[in-house]
Structure 1
Amino acid sequence: MEKNRVLQTLKEYFGYDSFRPLQEKIINAAFEGKDNLVIMPTGGGKSICYQLPAILLPEITLVISPLIALMKDQVDGLTANGVPAAFLNSSQTENEQQEIFKKIDAKELKLLYVAPESLQFVDKFMSDGKVSLIAVDEAHCISSWGHDFRPAYTQLGYLKNRFPTTPMMALTATADKATRHDICRQLNIPNAEKHIASFDRKNLSLEVRPGIKRFEQISNFVKNRKKESGIIYCLSRKNTEELAEKLQRKGFEAEAYHAGLAADKRIQIQEDFINDRSKIICATIAFGMGIDKSNIRWVIHYNMPKNLEGYYQEIGRAGRDGLPSDTMLFHSYADVVQLQKFASNAKNEEVQLAKLDRMKQYAEALSCRRKILLSYFGELKQEDCGNCDICKNPPQFFDGTIIAQKALSCIFRLKESEPITVVIDVLRGSQNEAVFSKNYQQIKTFGIGKDISWHHWQQYIIQLINLGLLEIAFHRKNNLQLTSLARKVLFESEKVQLAEVPDRKKIKRPEVSEASEKTVDNSLFEKLRQLRLKIAREEEIPAYLIFNDATLKEMEKARPMTDDEFLQINGVGRQKMQDYGYDFIKEIIAFSKEKRTGKKNKKGDTYKTTLALLQQDLSLEEIAKERGLALTTIYSHLAKLYNDNEAVEPKKYISKADLKAVAKAKQELEQTEALKPYFDHFEEAIDYGVIRLALAVLEKEEAKT
């Protein structure tokens, strides 16, 4: 596929001028007919990897998605961007499904979202060749090694047999090595190209606090964030209800969400949150998977999650627009005991308990938390992040190179085939069955760490795992394995800093200062946010589907006042320019007039420059060329100058036929402001700029009569 066409499609439908890392490579692989496994963190831009090819590929793209809410959100977002899409599931009536089948037969849809349980509906009308691409979203659900195993996903292996020539793309935000391998095996795509994006979400701050006086801490945290959306994850339904009630009594807009509520109640709570009618959701982990809300500013874990994959996915729901966002985790021994009980009933009990232990190690860590998360997903970083509680309040460190070399050497000599308990036993020279049954007393590292206590060895090895020198192979009985960084310590004299292991009774967590109110009431961002909310309510769609917070921030900074300038903003595509550009530009111009204090502002000068060139009797085309601006922009300048009663003659630049046509359309459409209906009415035969100028002339003439 031609690169220019791909980039034009990215801008036209999604509003971006360039791709994020890996997106272009994945998209090109899809066009080449290759199978792909995409591991990309929440907010990293996974959806575009299959949505953009779907627009350009000849036939329909089939998307397997686990939740109805997730499908609806994706389809609403695509529709807002001008992409024809639909979803098919068991909640629809037969008539609704028949309407979708008709659209597919007429080739009116580019994407069809289907739940795995509803695949039998697809078989009725799909044959090999009618599907250009198959995307399996939340692909970790297929693997029992994954953190969110769903039996319905295991049937998806037949798709590759059913559509052997159709490329398949499996996508997930969280999957360790064992899960990645299992996804490819079960989907019958063993040769899939693996694309693993960075898991480093730098905009998320990470913090862990002791689980004492939790409500008091949460109340202090959210009191200066009343305009921000956030999620508080709880382990039990009872916790969600009690916490929401307490927050409501304190005056916060909070709701409880869990699987025990009636379906219509759950839908209403979710809709209220998505549409900014409520700010805080106290939820069990059942909430959030179907949420594509980009302006969630914080996530709190009232209880500890059962594994790092789930934790990472849940905190990833904050700051999807790339703006700074906060995460906080409360950690208590009671949570660990409760989660151990849950895991003991699972089919993959051993794996779940090992992953829970790893989660506990993260919560108790003395090293940079981001490095721990990244190393868990196979991404090794040597520098600390500076944006977690450990980095901001570091413990005492010492040169632990010798200790690290002893541990790594021992694991090397054990051929990376034992878990942490056996490794420590060998290091300390323990005389037990686990050691003697395998003759480990014969290896050189037996007893080389007998001067260090079992507890201290455990803490040091956990630090080595957290530092990315070791990893736990969950699919190989939790054996410790060396990473590439470990070899640098063993063979290249790389130094290792370890944290002093503190006496647990003396640990004091530093007080973390609370954030101040971030949004100024009279800022342009707030004005644009209110406009976005007004339009969202009128159109009955979530506000973030119009523009996300990052796009509004860029508008606040750049102050676009013409169509051309507005289109340069990231997140503004052709459809959104047509639908919302007029209202947002109008708001920006009004705000700038309010703030003007007698000085000529930069945007005001641009109109004066155009006026000066008009007075030199240059054509609009010549002015556009002289100024390096789009012709549409010069038309909009002329319309504004005319509205401001400057000495210009707009009729010189509009043919009588066009003016007459716009006047007639104005009566038929009963429209005075929005330009898109006119543009569609004329089937794009009359330019936006001409329409805008003609309307300015007609409105002034009407005002005189």
Structure 2
Amino acid sequence: MPVDPLPVLQSTFGFPGFRGVQADVVHRVLAGENTLAVMPTGAGKSLCYQLPSVALEGTCVVVSPLIALMHDQLRAASAIGIRAATLTSVDIDQMETIKRFRRGELDLLYVAPERASGGAFRDLLSQAKLALFAIDEAHCVSEWGHDFRPDYRLLRPLLDHFPDVPRLALTATADEHTRADILDQLGIPREGMIVAGFDRPNIQYRISPKDNTTRQITDLIAETPGAGIVYVQSRAGTEKMAEALAKTGRPTRAYHAGLDPHVRARNQADFVASEDMVICATVAFGMGIDKPDVRFVAHAGLPKSIEAYYQETGRAGRDGDPAVAHMFWGAEDFAKARQRIGEVEPARQAGERTRLTALGALVETPGCRRRILLKHFGDDAPENCGNCDNCLNPPAAIDATEVARKFLSAVFRTGQSFGIGYIEQVLTGVSSERSLMNGHEALGVFGIAPSAEEQALIKPVARALLLRDALRANDFGGLEFGPGARAILKENETVSLIVPPKRERRTRGRGSSAGTAANPTGDPLFEALRARRRTLAAEASVPPYVIFHDSVLRDMATIRPSTLRALGEISGIGARKLEAYGEAFLEVIREG
């Protein structure tokens, strides 16, 4: 007789019902069917294997790519009464974990793919009953994915060795090609794929050209309370950015692979435990973070691909509250990306160019950002999402084709060996020793952009030409024609520039509603509940969100339950947490 998951959902997790496709995924798993679940971050992927681990006899083995992610999930599972353990290289209790597994005392066992693919681990699994294999971050199995991990491709023999144990692959980030590869690599039938869609409606997407990036991110921090991640493209850049942003008064940390491992671990732990810290990090940071209350993610440069952008921005607002994802880009980012494409093996270059073109379309569009993002993953999307910069404040578009042709002509006439600044001087007729020595003042392009209107467009036009691959930067910083130049010069292709509306500089508490949902009405009871949560979290040595999410505290402040039974009816409060923390929060409510 099939197991009814609802009693477990209500008693262990404290939820009255499933969200989205969770029910479909859980019912397939409980029926013993192999499944691929493609669900956006924040949609509750972990519940899809945590619930069966409680409902079914045996242990659910979870393959996860990063130790930090496993430990985050271990804390969250243990807090609601799930018997869980990790078996990683940094765990000092490995022998005890193995004994617990053999005795059937574990609901969940988290391991890395490197361990899972080994023969010794397969032998260990043969010594106890297994309920499920869950392969988290399953896009790592695909060479088409943006975060390929070779050890993931070695998992199939382990799965096939236990043919009666169902397998569940989970990912938030996989386009159609990657999804097909995951199914093939993990032996899951096509009818076993459940795609929930990719939309994260609570995230407000913003994209801006760089214009003093540090100041721009400082403004973002000023208007967005709560924890945030700033992705920086170099290790040195993370430390420099963290030092600059510390002047805002917010606690900041740097994170990159070059830090001392103890410092790196401490900085990550401080961020996870904080309610308002900003961490400046390379892209090495994030996949291992299961922190739900990140209020903003900023990119101080171009991400690797739309898939990477989606995953990195998806670390904001996992709790469902409003959040901001703001990318700051420059033409030099696209130029460097094209140079990197030239350095990869030829077989991958076409795919990398396609990814970069897709990023360019996202950056350059005057229309809805979310629409482009969702269409990339095969989702239908409305013309206007109402929650991206272009939909909230539609930009103007101006025809800059004539200036673009003048710029390309100047690049060509000067020998395709000078940078943007010099080409601008030639176009505007600024005489210099360099232009005299090169004889460029005699050229027909010298001074052909005399008006202030044209001169104001020169730098944005150069940026647009680099983005479109009509221009490329050579090894010496000079500009040369790219494959897109001819269509603009000879084939009447137009060049439109997006003129974003001016945004008023906002300060905390004044402007955007994005990222301010923690206490939207300024309720003092909510703040008192948060204070009690911080105390309990410190005593238990866990991040505050492991106790309860902000949304649960808001419900407490609104409903003001007076009994444990009434408190237990609030969504997100399961039996274990009610027993552990119920009286402490009721005390605050009574005093409020």
Residues 70 and 86 in structure 2, CA contact (< 8 A), matched pair in contact too = yes
Q: Which moved more, 1:324-333 or 1:277-286?
A: 277-286
CA distance in 2, matches of 1:544, 1:30: 28
Q: Answer yes or no: is 1:102 the counterpart of 2:99.
A: yes
CA distance in 2, matches of 1:388, 1:512: 16
2:549 alignment partner in structure 1: 548
SS at 1:240 equivalent: helix
CA distance in 1, matches of 2:260, 2:316: 26
Structure 1 pair 100–276 and aligned structure 2 pair: CA distance change class (3 A): same
Aligned residue pair count: 489
Amino acid at match of 1:127: S
CA distance in 2, matches of 1:339, 1:571: 44
Structure 1 pair 157–553 and aligned structure 2 pair: CA distance change class (3 A): same
Residues 40 and 46 in structure 1, CA contact (< 8 A), matched pair in contact too = yes
> 1:682-703, CA deviations, whole angstroms, 9 ceiling, x for partnerless residues?
xxxxxxxxxxxxxxxxxxxxxx
Amino acid at match of 1:556: A
Q: Aligned runs of 1:388-403 on 2, under 5 Å? A: 388-395=388-395
Amino acid at match of 2:193: K
CA distance in 1, matches of 2:504, 2:195: 34
2:591 alignment partner in structure 1: 590
Taking CA–CA contacts closer than 8 Å with sequence separation of 6 or more, which of the two structures ends up with the larger relative contact order? Answer: 2
Residues 254 and 278 in structure 1, CA contact (< 8 A), matched pair in contact too = no
Q: Answer yes or no: is 1:528 the counterpart of 2:526.
A: no
For residue 278 of structure 1, report the CA deviation from its aligned partner: 6.1
Amino acid at match of 2:147: D
> 1:599-641, CA deviations, whole angstroms, 9 ceiling, x for partnerless residues?
xxxxxxxxxxxxxxxxxxxxxxxxxxxxxxxxxxxxxxxxxxx
SS at 1:232 equivalent: strand
Q: Answer yes or no: is 1:51 the counterpart of 2:50.
A: yes
SS at 1:206 equivalent: strand
Residues 122 and 158 in structure 2, CA contact (< 8 A), matched pair in contact too = no
For residue 345 of structure 1, report the CA deviation from its aligned partner: 3.1
CA distance in 1, matches of 2:363, 2:309: 11
Residues 229 and 281 in structure 2, CA contact (< 8 A), matched pair in contact too = yes
> 1:565-586, CA deviations, whole angstroms, 9 ceiling, x for partnerless residues?
1111111000000000001111
1:248 alignment partner in structure 2: 246
> 1:21-60, CA deviations, whole angstroms, 9 ceiling, x for partnerless residues?
1101111101111110110111111001111011111111
CA distance in 2, matches of 1:383, 1:278: 34
Residues 294 and 549 in structure 1, CA contact (< 8 A), matched pair in contact too = no
2:449 alignment partner in structure 1: none
2:179 alignment partner in structure 1: 180
Amino acid at match of 1:573: G
1:82 alignment partner in structure 2: 81
Residues 60 and 130 in structure 2, CA contact (< 8 A), matched pair in contact too = yes
CA distance in 1, matches of 2:226, 2:31: 43
CA distance in 2, matches of 1:574, 1:129: 28
Percentage of pairs with the same residue = 40
Q: Aligned runs of 1:241-280 on 2, under 5 Å? A: 241-276=239-274, 279-280=277-278
SS at 2:61 equivalent: strand
2:136 alignment partner in structure 1: 137
Amino acid at match of 1:295: D
Structure 1 pair 397–232 and aligned structure 2 pair: CA distance change class (3 A): closer
For residue 165 of structure 1, report the CA deviation from its aligned partner: 1.5
Q: Aligned runs of 1:111-190 on 2, under 5 Å? A: 111-119=108-116, 120=118, 121-127=120-126, 130-190=129-189
Q: Aligned runs of 1:386-465 on 2, under 5 Å? A: 386-395=386-395
2:312 alignment partner in structure 1: 314
Q: Answer yes or no: is 1:507 the counterpart of 2:499.
A: yes
Amino acid at match of 2:136: D
CA distance in 1, matches of 2:505, 2:551: 25
CA distance in 1, matches of 2:352, 2:167: 29
Amino acid at match of 1:507: V
For residue 527 of structure 1, report the CA deviation from its aligned partner: 1.3
Residues 128 and 162 in structure 1, CA contact (< 8 A), matched pair in contact too = no
CA distance in 1, matches of 2:591, 2:88: 45
Q: Aligned runs of 1:186-585 on 2, under 5 Å? A: 186-191=185-190, 193-225=192-224, 227-276=225-274, 279-347=277-345, 348-395=348-395, 503-504=496-497, 507-511=499-503, 514=506, 516-517=508-509, 518=516, 519=519, 523-585=524-586
Q: Which moved more, 1:332-341 or 1:281-290?
A: 332-341
> 1:97-120, CA deviations, whole angstroms, 9 ceiling, x for partnerless residues?
211111011111011011011123
Q: Which moved more, 1:510-519 or 1:131-140?
A: 510-519
Q: Which moved more, 1:172-181 or 1:147-156?
A: 147-156
Structure 1 pair 378–363 and aligned structure 2 pair: CA distance change class (3 A): same
CA distance in 2, matches of 1:25, 1:128: 31
Amino acid at match of 2:569: Q
CA distance in 1, matches of 2:545, 2:337: 35
SS at 2:134 equivalent: strand
Give the unaligned 5+ runs of structure 1.
Answer: 399-458, 463-499, 592-705
Give the unaligned 5+ runs of structure 2.
Answer: 399-463, 468-492, 510-515
2:459 alignment partner in structure 1: none
> 1:350-397, CA deviations, whole angstroms, 9 ceiling, x for partnerless residues?
212221221121011111111111111111123411111111122469
TM-score of the pair, normalised by structure 2: 0.79
Q: Which moved more, 1:110-119 or 1:243-252?
A: 243-252
CA distance in 2, matches of 1:325, 1:336: 27
Residues 133 and 159 in structure 2, CA contact (< 8 A), matched pair in contact too = no
CA distance in 1, matches of 2:506, 2:387: 15
SS at 1:112 equivalent: strand
CA distance in 2, matches of 1:541, 1:192: 40
Residues 133 and 167 in structure 1, CA contact (< 8 A), matched pair in contact too = yes
1:421 alignment partner in structure 2: none
CA distance in 2, matches of 1:98, 1:194: 37
SS at 1:52 equivalent: helix
For residue 133 of structure 1, report the CA deviation from its aligned partner: 0.7
Q: Aligned runs of 1:8-87 on 2, under 5 Å? A: 8-87=7-86
SS at 1:46 equivalent: coil
CA distance in 2, matches of 1:7, 1:166: 22
2:402 alignment partner in structure 1: none
For residue 153 of structure 1, report the CA deviation from its aligned partner: 1.2
